[in-house]
Chains A and B, each alone.
Chain A
Amino acid sequence: MEEINALFHGFSVALTPFNLLLMFVGVTLGVLIGVLPGLGGANGIAILLPLTFTMEPTSAVIMLSCIYWGALFGGAITSILFNIPGEPWSVATTFDGYPMAQQGKAGEALTTAFTSSFIGAFFAVVMITFLAPLVAKFALQFGPPEFFAVFFLTFCSFIGMGKEPPFKIVAAMMLGFALAAVGIDTVTGQLRLIFGWHELMRGFDFLIAVIGLFGIGEILLSMEEGLSFSGRTAKIDPRIVIATWKKLPKFWLTSLRSCVIGCWMGITPGGATPASFMSYGIAKRMSPDGAKFGTGMPEGVVAPETAAHAAGTAALLPMISLGIPGSPTAAVLLGGLLIWGLQPGPLLFVEQKDFVWGLIASMYLGNIAGLIIVLTCVPLFAAILRVPFSIIAPVIIVICAVGAYTVHNAMLDIWLMLLFGVAGYAFKKLAYPLAPLVLALVLGDQAESAFRQAMLMSQGDVSIFFSNGLVGSIMALGLLMLLWPLLSKLKASLLRQR
């Protein structure tokens, strides 16, 4: 019951009028970011991060995590009303959400989506409340080999679970590690990979990469598709909300299953996007109405939305307990911790109790605030989408440029952002995944130093990674993930021969 006490302490930290105000501001900004093309959770937070440098860490993280909740909610609005997924994880929501809107049931679809999101997030937050302290306590006994093994598992999961061609995942990931190595080597102090260009001494900041890859890249993609928004209008009045809520309990099984899928995919860095697809697919197979999926079944909205939110929230568990983010957005929040002077990792639960439990409590409150805001303000957010793209595009590029500049007050970063934008556009079209690139860029230095420390302990003997049961089993799990694409190919060819 230690956790309950700690949680109540967290509520007392989070529940100041100022923090509550930040929550509502954060969620509103987040929904806006989720609705606008070219701005998403990860780069939206990256752009706003510099504005929080002077804030108190707990307030700052409350606002930024609320932006994240808002962005998760916002993706559903565009999917349902416009058939345009504002975020990748809401693609599966369009399958049944948009047909519902076409049938004039937009309000019902939106209420279903928001409520499911809320339930998924709530489930994941409860899990974080009780599991995160245990994981952190367990991880306190980790040494460098164990930490490297966890990094190894994280990155191998991308290869094992990614939909993209495995060699492209490896290439993108290794490019991230290479970019992370640019600049001063933290151990020897030597300059690496700058080729005499001293402005690169600082290295590549992942915030710049996030703003470029996700922001500018997305704008270029939208431009190519020649977006013209034409969507359904929606009004949500209390009558529709109550009527929808009465129907939802009968989907409890789908909901529970989606929560579990989401949590699992969020902790292992599968992420919200595959979680939503997987949950939709399984619901389609298991439901008695499975054949009617895609024609506007509420259950087809419940499944992906619940899983996406559960995954998005659960991705914060490894971030606060181990210091290893499960998604690009979690990575940006982790970058925030470093900037506010907090050392992420298992010690956070011991040394920064106020911060950690304030954050966890704010997850409960932030999601309630989010649900209230999206249920009441949908018409307003939908109206923003009707602003023509030729106004939105330059404004978003200006915002991205400002965001890139404020990270280090460096002009070079704006040019780099543009370069990353072009790379992001090409990578997206050729199915090179961006998430492993960003995570490798964030974690590169830590992974390298864990590796080097482990190798120093063993005098260069790689067998240290299998020297005890714990590190050995994490490594073995990682290797299994790494070889997963190969194994599943083998299995498929064996089945075909039979």
Chain B
Amino acid sequence: MADKHGSDSATSAGISVQTMEIVVALILFGLGGMVVFDSSRLGFRWVEDGPQAGYFPFYIGVFICVSSLVTLAQALFGKKRGGVFVEWAPLRQVFSVLVPAAIFVLGIQLIGIYVAAAAYIAVFMVWLGKYGWIKSVLLGVAVSAVMFMMFEVWFKVPLFKGGYNPLGFLGY
């Protein structure tokens, strides 16, 4: 893997810290703006029977906006810290976990935690770990089975079975 603390010219090899600082500060500013907006809808003043519902959040929102603006200004005009937030190759690694994880969550929604978990673990092992199919599927099913015993049978905490519930035949 390349040196993470490479020279400034290496910014082309990934997303720069500065870009990321600006993006996060803008998102925070947006969230702060939403808080201020909704608080002023609820009322942030002092009325006869005390403070209105938006009284406290309003100032919270203002604080978020102000502090994110300062961070934004520092990122734009402050001393250039340079540096790479993440290079493309490690970013690909991150997405190779994040995207399957998102698909896994979608899977939970459709076919429930147990089946989705078994499939997710097996596919992940084959795809990123380069394990054989048989080994991977066995491990995925084993983890799911242990979870099933623990939650449904012993602790009686039912987990999400999904919109289609492929395990409905088990009677749980």
Contact = CB atoms under 8 A, between A and B. Distances in A.
A174 B64 contact: yes
Given A174-B64, A405-B159, A224 B53 contact: no
A474 B48 CA distance: 30
Contact of A175 (B28, B54, B159): B28
A291 B17 CA distance: 35
Contacts of A406: 151, 157, 159
B111 interface: no
B60 interface: yes
Given A171-B67, A181-B60, A390 B125 contact: yes
Contacts of A401: 104-105, 108, 113, 117
A414 B91 contact: no
Interface residues of A, number: 57
A421 B108 CA distance: 17
A187 B42 CA distance: 13
B64 A394 contact: no
Interface in B104-127: 104-105, 108-109, 113, 117, 120-121, 124-125
B164 interface: no
Contact of B63 (A174, A181, A192, A226): A174
Contact of A426 (B20, B64, B120, B139): B20
Interface stretch (A74-82, A107-115, A215-223): A215-223
Interface stretch (A323-331, A355-363, A450-458): A450-458
Contacts of A171: 28, 64, 67-68, 71
| Size bracket of the B interface | 35 or more
Given A171-B71, A192-B42, A406-B159, A452 B56 contact: yes
Interface of B is mostly: helix
Contact of A223 (B34, B56, B96): B96
Interface stretch (A162-170, A305-313, A338-346, A490-498): A162-170
Interface in B21-57: 21, 24, 28, 31-32, 34-35, 38-39, 42, 46, 50-57
Interface of A is mostly: helix
A470 interface: no
A398 B34 CA distance: 33
24 contacts: A167-B67, A167-B70, A167-B74, A175-B28, A178-B32, A178-B61, A181-B56, A224-B91, A226-B93, A390-B128, A391-B139, A394-B121, A395-B121, A397-B101, A401-B113, A402-B113, A405-B113, A406-B159, A414-B108, A421-B98, A429-B20, A429-B86, A432-B24, A460-B51
Interface of A: 50-51, 165, 167-168, 170-171, 174-175, 177-178, 181, 185, 187-188, 190, 192-193, 195, 216, 219-220, 223-226, 388, 390-391, 393-395, 397-398, 401-402, 405-406, 409, 411, 414-415, 418, 421-422, 425-427, 429-430, 432, 448, 451-452, 455-456, 460
Interface of B: 1, 17, 20-21, 24, 28, 31-32, 34-35, 38-39, 42, 46, 50-57, 60-61, 63-64, 67-68, 70-71, 74, 85-86, 90-91, 93-94, 96-98, 100-102, 104-105, 108-109, 113, 117, 120-121, 124-125, 128-131, 139, 143, 147, 151, 155, 157-160
Given A167-B67, A190-B53, 8 more contacts: A165-B71, A168-B67, A188-B53, A223-B94, A397-B97, A402-B117, A405-B160, A430-B17
